[in-house]
Amino acid sequence: MSKKSKPVLLTGASGNLGRMLARELAAQGYTLRLTDLTPFPDQVPEGASFTKADLNDGVTILQLAEGCQAILHFGGASTDQPFEVVLGPNLRGLYHIYEAARREGARVLFASSNHSIGFHERPQGNQAKLEADCEFRPDSFYGLSKAYGELMGRLYWDKHGVENLNVRIGSSFPEPVDARMLATWLSYADLARLCIAFVEAPKVGHAVVWGASNNAASYWGGDHRDRIGWQPQDSADAFAAKVGQITSGNPVTERYQGGGYTAVGYSRDGFSPRDAFTLED
């Protein structure tokens, strides 16, 4: 049976990434069920339908997922927000996504984030890059919700066999806009190819992929991309001359992988420890 014969549910469809993915996947012949809390701003692609829904509404999420082979979960609070804003869509909403996946036997691509590990320092010189099995060091309530989401995937894989791929997205924009994005940039085309590879993969299990293009300055090392047969084809390197000198000037922002999210509300004297469980910085 063709992988395109069963629907794919895409949450967060009205956001920039969701709109792009709706276009690209529809063009590849996938039947899409699109959903978001806000109306879809474009013409709904051929072979797709849109339903306005709140991730907090578990019944509607179950209905939308009925018969789906995969859920591409890009919904929820997508930036640094107060805890009460993040709580509903990013924690309770994700539970509804995984319950729907469990019931339908669907796999889940979870749009995680580099902000789940944002308080790891940026590698310097020949220092080793961060591996996918590193400890979580979230830099915000948003980043904390992404760490929770990855652990939710771990639970549902161990307990229910729900396959899931956690994509720690760096910075997915049309092009890099500052020096940090020379390391973290993920092109729209590479993200679309990743999502298609996920849907098409024979087996996923529980996996983590660094969501970045083929950037020489990348902070990140090994992951599970070979499991889905994905390799990024684009690179931020061509933008080095244009944006390589654009930095924040904030020493906290420039020290840590999470960038500006680490500096918001930062109240420590000095830097946080290199190892979270020691007293030394």
103-156 pLDDT, tens per residue? 999 999 999 999 999 999 999 988 999 999 999 999 999 999 999 999 999 999
pLDDT in tens, 222-272: 999 999 999 999 999 999 999 999 999 999 999 999 999 999 999 999 999
Taking residues 182-198, report their average pLDDT: 98
pLDDT exceeds cutoff 70 at 215? yes
* Residue entry with tokens 């639970």: 155
Catalytic residue among 142, 156, 188, 261: 142
Contact, 129 vs 216, CB < 8 A?
no
CA distances from 15 to 52, 54, 246 (A): 13, 14, 26
pLDDT in tens, 16-62: 999 999 999 999 999 999 999 999 999 999 999 999 999 999 999 99
Q: Measure CA 265 to chain center.
A: 23
pLDDT recorded at residue 2: 64
The letter for the amino acid at 141 is F
Catalytic, 98? Answer no
Residue 104 to residue 254: CA distance in whole angstroms:
44
Hey, what's the torsion of the CAs at 194, 196, 200, 205, to 10 degrees? 40
Specify the CATH class of 3-263 in words. Answer: alpha beta
pLDDT exceeds cutoff 80 at 279? no
Q: Where are the domains of the chain?
A: 3-263
